[in-house]
């Protein structure tokens, strides 16, 4: 198959580096190929371990970054997950594979052009457990709350309060927080209504979150 060798080489390198560890997540990376989510212009670069431009100034994240975030989130079968920042749709499909048919992914983005781009990409798979919504991601999506897990794929000046509120107790969030120049990736476990435990899992650079609780 086209790109199969490049895809497998990338996956093996991430396993060797320790970025990919969990069997189900590794399986998702094999079943949901990245080249189906990049623009034609960057198709030959699909399995380089770099972020690539998509449309409207957005990017499809570096595969290692996606692996680290997904491993940190640890999606489980049957869970309902909110993704803030739909982008190309790749991360939503990876999560959808991990949660299985009894789980659900709600993915939201403020950019209607990106939403359409993601919809076209997601339609390439027989995925029935993803709901795609165009709205201000910084306020979450109250209609589907609470969520077992939340993944934010855009830089936040601070953790948006509505996302904390919409996360279940014993739920988990992965969110990049900090200035536009560079953020710290935070793994946040909600142990009680007003009790959060945060762990720093490294420095990253994301496009900025736009909206009420995003960058002005």
Half-sphere exposure of 81 (CA within 13 A, CB side): 35
The single residue listed with the structure tokens 């990245």 is: 34
Q: Strand 130-134 to strand 59-60: parallel, antiparallel, or no bridges (unpaired)?
A: unpaired
* Strand residues in the chain grouped as ranges (E): 52-53, 59-60, 80-84, 104-109, 130-134, 147-152, 167-177, 183-192, 195-204
CA distance 112 to 212: 17
By three-state DSSP, how is residue 103 classified? Answer: coil
- Give Cβ neighbours of residue 16 (< 8 Å, ≥ 6 apart): none
**Is 61 one of the annotated active-site residues of the chain?**
yes
CB 102 within 8 A of CB 74: no
Which residue of the set 61, 88, 101, 138 is catalytic?
Answer: 61
Distance, C-alpha 85 to centroid of its chain: 7
Catalytic residue positions?
61
């Amino acid at each position: 198959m086209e790109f199969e060798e490049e895809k497998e080489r990338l996956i093996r390198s991430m396993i060797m580096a320790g970025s990919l560890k969990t069997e189900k997540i590794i399986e998702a990376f094999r079943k949901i190929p990245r080249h189906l989510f990049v623009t034609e212009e960057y198709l030959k670069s699909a399995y380089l371990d770099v972020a690539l431009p998509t449309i409207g100034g957005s990017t499809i994240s570096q595969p290692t970054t996606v692996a680290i975030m997904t491993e940190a989130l640890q999606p489980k079968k049957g869970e309902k997950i909110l993704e803030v920042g739909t982008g190309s749709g790749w991360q939503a499909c990876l999560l959808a594979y991990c949660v299985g048919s009894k789980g659900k992914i709600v993915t939201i983005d403020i950019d209607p052009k990106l939403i359409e781009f993601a919809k076209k990409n997601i339609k390439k798979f027989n995925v029935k457990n993803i709901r795609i919504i165009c709205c201000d991601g910084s306020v979450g999506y109250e209609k589907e709350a609470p969520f077992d897990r939340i993944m934010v794929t855009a830089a936040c000046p601070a953790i948006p309060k509505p996302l904390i509120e919409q996360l279940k107790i014993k739920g988990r969030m992965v969110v990049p927080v900090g200035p536009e120049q560079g953020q710290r990736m935070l793994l946040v476990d909600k142990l009680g209504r007003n009790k959060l435990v945060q762990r720093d899992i490294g420095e990253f650079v994301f496009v900025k979150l736009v909206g009420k609780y995003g960058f002005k």
